[in-house]
């Protein structure tokens, strides 16, 4: 079976959730019109990866960091409050599977903790899985809380059995094995990383997991 996959590489409108959601829906529509059945967005796409954490000085830039973090929190996605409704509607309208990276705010319990999350949305617009990054990498812990592993799931979709790990958690052997053990077919790894080492890792994982 031949499946066309679209990987969106258009940058988000940083720290502007509404504008980034609108842009994502446009990209999704364009991909679907081109025949894509699976559309994947980058890590933390909604509303952008907090790249400042690798640039600001601990302590010295705390006031600026707090201002930016407050803006990120205001523009994070509350899934439990319907924050992905427009993306879900677009997935159903176009009949495509969507994998979306996002900054998620916990609207059920704390109301303030942010997570680096990835969701799989089915062709009926239903959220099939939400995975929160298990352990944010070094400075990322100033922004995101640790996930609880409940999202280490592989889900059935019309394009195959999909599982996701985010960025450097792909270097966790047991997290990978948890997906391999569920007969994964499409292993998706949204990341801020790049370069030859990352590509070599993805090649190895594909061989290791037979996916």
Active-site residue, from 88, 104, 164, 167: 167
Looking at the domain assignment, is residue 117 inside a domain?
A: yes
Give, as one character, the DSSP assignment of residue 12.
P
Average pLDDT, the chain: 96
As a whole number, mean pLDDT of residues 64-88 equals 96
Looking at the domain assignment, is residue 15 inside a domain?
A: yes
Distance between alpha carbon 136 and the CA centroid of its chain, in Å? 13
1 pLDDT above the threshold of 80: no
Active-site residue, from 133, 140, 169, 211: 133
Tokens encoding 165: 């790990």
Active site includes 85?
Answer: no
128 pLDDT above the threshold of 90: yes
Looking at the domain assignment, is residue 38 inside a domain?
A: yes
Secondary structure string (H, E, C) spanning 176-200? HHHHHCCCCCEEECCCCCCCHHHHH
Active-site residue, from 37, 43, 140, 211: 43
Q: Which long-range contacts (CB under 8 A, 24 or more apart) does 54-63 make?
A: 54/139
Active site includes 133?
Answer: yes
- Total domains in the chain come to 1
CATH classification of the domain holding 96? 3.60.110.10
Looking at the domain assignment, is residue 192 inside a domain?
A: no
Residues 199 and 41: their CA atoms lie apart, in Å, by: 18
Structural domain range at position 66? 5-149
Looking at the domain assignment, is residue 177 inside a domain?
A: no
**Angle between helices 85-94 and 17-33 in degrees, nearest 10:** 10
Looking at the domain assignment, is residue 204 inside a domain?
A: no
Looking at the domain assignment, is residue 46 inside a domain?
A: yes
Q: What angle do CA 106, 111, 114 make, to 5 degrees?
A: 45
Given pLDDT bands bounded at 50, 70 and 90, which one contains residue 35?
very high
Predicted pLDDT at 180: 98
Looking at the domain assignment, is residue 166 inside a domain?
A: no
In 3D space, the residue among 113, 112, 111, 163 whose CA is nearest the CA of residue 136 turns out to be 113
């Amino acid at each position: 079976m031949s499946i066309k996959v679209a990987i969106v590489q258009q940058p988000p409108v940083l720290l502007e959730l509404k504008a980034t959601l609108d842009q994502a829906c446009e990209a999704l529509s364009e991909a679907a019109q081109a025949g894509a059945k699976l559309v994947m967005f980058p890590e933390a796409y909604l509303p952008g990866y907090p790249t400042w954490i690798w640039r600001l000085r601990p302590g010295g830039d705390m006031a600026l960091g707090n201002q930016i973090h407050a803006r990120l929190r205001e523009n994070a996605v509350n899934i439990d409050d319907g924050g992905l409704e427009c993306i879900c509607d677009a997935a159903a309208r176009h009949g495509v599977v969507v994998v979306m990276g996002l900054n998620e705010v916990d609207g059920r319990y704390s109301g303030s903790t942010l997570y680096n999350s990835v969701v799989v949305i089915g062709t009926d617009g239903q959220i099939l899985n939400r995975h929160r990054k298990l352990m944010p990498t070094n400075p990322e812990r100033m922004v995101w809380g640790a996930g609880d592993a409940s999202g280490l799931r592989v889900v059935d979709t019309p394009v195959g059995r999909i599982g996701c790990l985010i960025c450097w958690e792909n270097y966790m052997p047991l997290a990978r094995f948890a997906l391999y053990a569920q007969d994964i077919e499409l292993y998706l790894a949204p990341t801020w990383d790049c370069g030859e080492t990352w590509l070599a890792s993805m090649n190895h994982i594909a061989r290791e997991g037979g996916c």
